[in-house]
């Protein structure tokens, strides 16, 4: 699934099934904030817990230049699990089979088969 325009969703549902083959499973829990300009979700088993924020845009740090949006591509690979309250920032890839701990703030890409957690997120262990 690719989204190419600015979207903001708070999903009151527990799953999305439109345009996803029956053999594919993507689980999105309640109250997920998706601020996407460009993001990819796989079609193979991805778990996203409640109150996760996926934020593909931000603003420059320079005080005189904060008004324009900076867009960063976000990619969540298959079989990833994103814990409750996690925040995924622009430019990040969540690796295949990886786990993002609840409450983590992910500002760098997560390798495949890795558990990350903390603020900012860091590798806890490889799986």
Catalytic, 73? Answer no
Q: Following DSSP, what letter does each residue of 17-84 receive, concatenated?
A: -TT--TT--EEE-SS-EEEESSEE--SS-EEE-TT-EEE-EE--SSGGG-SS-EE--EEE-TT-EE-T
User: Is 95 in a helix, a strand, or coil?
Assistant: coil
Please check whether residue 83 is in contact with residue 99, taking contact to mean a CB–CB distance below 8 angstroms.
yes
Closest to 40 measured CA to CA, from 54, 52, 51: 54
Q: How far apart are CA 30 and CA 11, in angstroms?
A: 6
SS3 at position 2: strand
Pairing of strands 99-100, 93-94: unpaired
The pLDDT tens digits along the chain (127 residues) read 443 333 333 343 333 333 344 445 555 655 565 555 455 565 566 788 888 888 888 888 888 888 887 888 888 888 899 999 999 998 999 999 999 999 999 999 999 999 999 999 999 999 9
What pLDDT score does 58 carry? 81
- The rounded distance, in Å, linking the Cα atoms of 30 and 37 is 21
pTM for this prediction: 0.71
Q: What is the pLDDT of residues 78-105, one digit of tens each?
A: 889 999 999 999 899 999 999 999 999 9
Catalytic entry in 6, 14, 59, 73: 59
Q: What is the pLDDT of residue 20?
A: 40
């Amino acid at each position: 699934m690719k989204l190419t325009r600015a979207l903001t969703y708070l999903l009151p549902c527990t799953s999305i099934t439109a345009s996803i083959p029956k053999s594919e499973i993507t689980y999105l829990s309640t109250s997920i904030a998706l601020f996407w300009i460009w993001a990819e979700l796989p079609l193979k088993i991805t778990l996203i817990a409640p109150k996760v924020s996926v934020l593909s845009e931000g603003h420059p740090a320079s005080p005189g230049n904060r008004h324009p949006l900076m867009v960063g591509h976000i990619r969540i690979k298959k079989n990833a699990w994103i814990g409750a309250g996690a925040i995924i920032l622009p430019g990040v890839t969540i690796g295949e089979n990886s786990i993002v701990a609840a409450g983590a703030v992910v500002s760098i890409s997560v390798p495949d088969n890795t558990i990350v957690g903390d603020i900012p997120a860091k590798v806890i262990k490889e799986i």
